[in-house]
Amino acid sequence: PPVSFVLSLSASSSTALDYAIDPRFPLFQQALRRPKKSHEALASLLGVPELIRSSDPRPEDFTSELLRTIGGRWAEFNGGYPNVASGKFAKYARRLGEPLLPRVEDARLPVRILPPYFVSHAPDDAWWAISQELFRETADAVANRTQCVRVIATSNVGTLERHALSVPDDHLVLWVSGLDELTVPASQLAAYGHALRSIADDGKDSFALYGGFFSVVLQNVGLGGSSHGIGYGENRQWIELPESGPPPARYYVPQLHRYLQPDEATRLLIADRRLAECDCPECNGDPPNTLEYHELMKHSVYCRAREISEWSDIGLGPAAQRLRAEADQWHGLLTASGLPYVVASAARARAAHLNTWIDALSRIN
């Protein structure tokens, strides 16, 4: 399946990555009274500046002619992406220390095209019908129709499963809006797992636009992979935030399979190294609050790579047992650490999701 990527890597001479570009089209499924430059740039790229409006759009606002324009322009953009983005390649390449190809026009094109899509809320939602038409218009504008991969975006798990099973596609990209693995109840995570298993049993490969550690474990029921959120978050609401900025500096704690603030993780490390230690090349035994921003991000990449290697193919039962053993050990270390009551209580709250995940895995299994 396609993978997330850093802009300049498509023009790198040392890294060969296959990638696809998420159009993030639900940006225009809402009123944009204070549009960002990115909103305006995308609307202009699609040739429809009127996508930016001060009132919520309705499905009927997207006529067949409008959808044909959007699909065609998106297909055109994907076919000439290096020429459009070439001005930014050098900036990102410097940040990554990546050498560029001698000619930017030789940069790799996306291996898959994700047609624009809307978020639907029910199996008979009019937004779903519009998404299907937008998929057809985009696919018709692409020379190799099989290059297009349908995105199914919904606000709930039940609708996701119904839509996925209703289409003939062998490959799907999935997104349940607001599915925060750390906060949603076990019943919702279990329903997501059951949906993914049904989709896999129907012979479809699936890839999640957003996901964290729990999504890694769900590869045991057929999920092919997920964007692991390095630098932009492991879940997303379809309603666009009025403001955004760079991702905060945060430290991925391998023992909890989640991010904490570097200072909080450092307190745990000082109390007992086993509560937050990591032996990856970026950490080198140093406290989390001494790592620089990009070191923190690279550390999280190492952690996620290890999780994929160790958890994605062990079965749900063994995964639940291992997670229970890890949680019990961590809580025992925390109790014996001597941390002040307030600090220890806050740390326990940060680990509450582990029991939720164990419960969810037992329900799926």
pLDDT band at 146 (very low <50, low <70, confident <90, very high): confident
pLDDT at residue number 137? 97
pLDDT at residue number 96? 58
Instruction: Tell me the residue type at 206.
Output: S
pLDDT band at 294 (very low <50, low <70, confident <90, very high): confident
Helix axes 81-96, 64-79, angle to 10 degrees: 50
pLDDT at residue number 88? 60
Q: Is the pLDDT of residue 2 over 50?
A: no
The Cα–Cα gap between 92 and 84 comes to 15
- Minimal CA–CA distance to 179: which of 151, 200, 148, 210? 210
The mean predicted confidence, pLDDT, of the chain is: 89
Lateral strand order in the sheet of 205-208: 119-120, 150-154, 171-176, 205-208, 223-226
Q: Give mean pLDDT, residues 332-350.
A: 97
pLDDT band at 110 (very low <50, low <70, confident <90, very high): confident
Identify the weakest region by mean pLDDT among 197-201, 210-214, 234-238, 277-281. Answer: 234-238
**pTM given for the model:** 0.91
Helix axes 316-336, 341-350, angle to 10 degrees: 170
Q: Is the pLDDT of residue 160 over 90?
A: yes
pLDDT at residue number 20? 85
Is residue 8 within 8 Å of 98, Cβ to Cβ? Answer: yes
